[in-house]
Amino acid sequence: MADSVWIPSAVALTASPSRHSGVVRITHWLTTLCFLALLLTGVEILLSHPRFYWGEAGSVNTAPLFKLPLPSSRATVPTGYGYVLHDQNGWSRYLHFQAAWAAVLTGLFYVISGVLSGHFRRNLLRDGPYDTLQRLTYLGVIFGLFPLVIWTGLAMSPAIASAFPFAVSVLGGQQSARTIHFFVSVLLVLFLVVHVVMVYVHGFRSRMRGMITGEQI
């Protein structure tokens, strides 16, 4: 009869993770806001030079690794388009770094509280509310793609490169860092698309309610 004592607590443990905690809900939406700001401004910054290189240096005078079939906001970039977009780099860079700080601080708060509260242990490190593929994806995004996009972003900073040269050279150089930053961003956008599709597939209203109010899904 030991089972009858044990089962209720097990039910309580497995039932609670499907309810999103306040920290998860708040950091989820803050991250969403930051990510959209970073994506929009990232594209604006990219449009001033939609060409990618490998190594330390590269310009319109060098052969690119690849170029994107996009118009540019600079007349100096040969794109094949007969027009030049408006320069949006000033505010885009301001907002990109502001949103990056907000995302980093939000992420730190999420990770620290996730460790302390057992959120990772309960929900992501073992079979709980999510299946193996979901758990690997979430862990990969949280502990793989996000740190990598921050690292490659910082590696483009000339001041950070002066203080931590190894953080740049290990990536292959500052242009390599920019190229990796782009690919990691593409992976994050892919994750976002799949994530939103999954929310639709599993019931948009109930999933949104779950992430907004914390109600049981």
Partner 1 sequence: MSKVSRRKLIGAGLGAAAGAGGLVLAGRLAKSNGLIPPDGRGFYGPGETLTYAAQRLLTRHSLAREFPAADISKAPFANEVAPMGDDFKRLRDGGFADWRLAVDGLVARPVSFSIAEIKSFPRLSHITHLACEEGWSYIAEWTGAPLFHILDLAGTLPQARYVVYRSIQPDWWESIDMADALHPQTLVAHGMNGGELPVGFGGPLRLRVPRQLGYKSVKFINRITVTDSLKGFGKGLGPASPEAGYAWYAGI
Among 14, 18, 32, 62, binds partner 1 (CB under 8 A): 62
Contacts of 80 (CB under 8 A, 6+ apart): 69
Sequence-ordered list of residues with C-beta below 8 angstroms from that of 121, at least 6 positions apart, any chain: none
Check residue 56 for interaction with partner 1 (CB under 8 A): yes
* Residue whose C-alpha is closest to residue 129's, from 202, 197, 79, 70: 202
Give CA 178 to chain center in angstroms: 15
Considering only 16, 21, 89, 134, the residue that binds partner 1 (CB under 8 A) is 89
In the set 49, 107, 146, 171, which binds partner 1 (CB under 8 A)? 49
34 vs 188 by CB, closer to partner 1: 34
Work out whether 158 is an interface residue with partner 1 (CB under 8 A). Answer: yes
Query: Using CB under 8 A, which of 165, 198, 202, 206 touches partner 1?
Result: 165
Instruction: Determine the Cα–Cα distance for residues 134 and 50; give it in Å rounded to an integer.
Output: 33
Q: Is 54 in the site for partner 1 (CB under 8 A)?
A: no
Q: Does 204 bind partner 1 (CB under 8 A)?
A: no
| Angle at 142 (CA atoms; ends 138, 147), nearest 5 degrees | 150
Contact call for residue 26 and partner 1 (CB under 8 A): no
DSSP state of 17: G
Q: Which residues contact 117 (CB under 8 A, 6 or more apart)?
A: 21, 23
Evaluate whether 71 touches 83 at the Cβ level (below 8 Å).
Answer: yes
Query: Which range in 2-10, 95-103, 125-133, 144-152 contacts partner 1 by CB under 8 A?
Result: 95-103
Among 30, 70, 95, 199, binds partner 1 (CB under 8 A): 95
Q: Which of 24, 42, 51, 119 binds partner 1 (CB under 8 A)?
A: 51
- For tokens 């991250």, name the residue: 31
Which residues form the interface with partner 1 (CB under 8 A)?
45-46, 48-49, 51, 56-62, 74-76, 89-91, 93-95, 97-102, 154, 156-163, 165, 168, 174-175, 178
